[in-house]
Amino acid sequence: MQMKKIIVFLSLLLLLGCSTNKMKPEDFKSKKPRLIIEEYMSGNVKAWGILQNRSGKVTRQFSADLNGKWDGKQLILNEKFNWNDGEVQSRQWKINKIDEHNYEGTAEDVVGKARGFSYGPIFKFEYVLLVPVKGKNIKITFDDWIFMQDEKVAINRATMTKFGIKVAELTVMFFKD
């Protein structure tokens, strides 16, 4: 009987540990300032960031130049990343505004479509990216959150997972010219 109680107790602990009160984009709907991604990313934006492995160690740093053009329906966003190890990466996003809060995006190295959500000062982007590792592309799921600080500065936190397990985190600071 004692063993049964221990198993029930451990099961409850496991369930409580797994239940999370995850942040949702809608949690920010009444907050200010309002981040309208197609406006913020139009024109020239500079960025600096760090990549951390799952234990938190900084493994790479980068600077980036972004240039966006909004035509009233679609944001074309060109990104150029300059990594501290000499690697240069480029990506072109095509982001369509579905309605006030919902977006869809594509890029050459994105599997399927990215889903975007905009509420208050945040823009959340969810997508699967083909990431080159040792000569192979592996699929990494990105949970990307951009937080607008003011009209010039935004901070991005992205959690990268594989099979639901965190493999890395990305922190980026954006500065709009």
Q: What is the pLDDT of residue 27?
A: 85
Q: What is the pLDDT of residue 132?
A: 87
Q: What is the pLDDT of residue 16?
A: 47
Q: What is the pLDDT of residue 114?
A: 98
Residues 69 and 76 sit within 8 Å (Cβ to Cβ): yes
Q: What is the pLDDT of residue 11?
A: 53
Q: What is the CATH number assigned to the segment(s) 26-176?
A: 2.40.128.20
Taking the C-alpha atoms of residue 136 and residue 109, their distance in angstroms, rounded to an integer, is: 13
HEC letters along 76-129: EEEEEEEECCCCEEEEEEEEEECCCCEEEEECCCEEEEEEEEEECCEEEEEEEE
Give the chain's residues under pLDDT 70.
1-21
Q: What is the pLDDT of residue 19?
A: 47
- Residue 54 per-residue DSSP state: T
